[in-house]
């Protein structure tokens, strides 16, 4: 079954980014439509896929990661406003039968992402 998933790693602390808010959006007729809000678990993953099965459709999507809130909650010194507050990763799903994994490696001042499996 096709699925969309994510995994967030805190590269500043060298561990999974637990309890980070993750929001998924889909673009429909050029409009950004909110699909869901989840939080990462102790492993830095969501407890269930962001999308799976028939809910996956071809098109453009965004995942918004609440990095600023995450680091503030941990007591990590960040600027006001944070340099990286909300990290938005926009990507496309071209094959609704495939798995898509969008990991985020993050610190208060940098991030990286890629298409995983």
39 annotated as ligand-binding: no
Q: CB-hemisphere CA count at 13 Å for 29?
A: 0
Instruction: Locate 55 and state its tokens.
Output: 């809910």
Was 45 annotated as part of a binding site? yes
Distance of CA 9 to the CA centre of its chain: 11
CB atoms within 10 A of CB 110: 11
Handedness of CA 45, 75, 89, 32 (dihedral sign): positive
**Closest residue by Cα to residue 83 from 105, 59, 107:** 107
7 marked as binding residue: yes
Annotated binding-site residue numbers for substrate? 7, 45, 114
Annotated binding-site residue numbers? 7, 45, 114
């Amino acid at each position: 079954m096709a699925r969309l998933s994510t995994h967030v790693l805190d590269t500043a602390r060298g561990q999974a980014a637990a309890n980070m808010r993750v929001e998924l959006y889909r673009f429909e007729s050029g409009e950004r439509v909110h699909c869901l809000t989840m939080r990462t678990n102790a492993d830095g993953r969501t407890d269930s896929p962001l999308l799976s099965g028939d809910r996956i459709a071809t098109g453009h999507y965004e995942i918004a990661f609440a990095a600023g809130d995450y680091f503030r909650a941990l007591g990590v010194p960040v600027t006001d406003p944070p340099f990286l507050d909300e990290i938005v990763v926009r990507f496309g799903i071209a094959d609704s039968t495939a798995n898509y994994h969008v990991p985020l490696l993050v610190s208060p001042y940098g991030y990286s992402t890629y298409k995983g499996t």
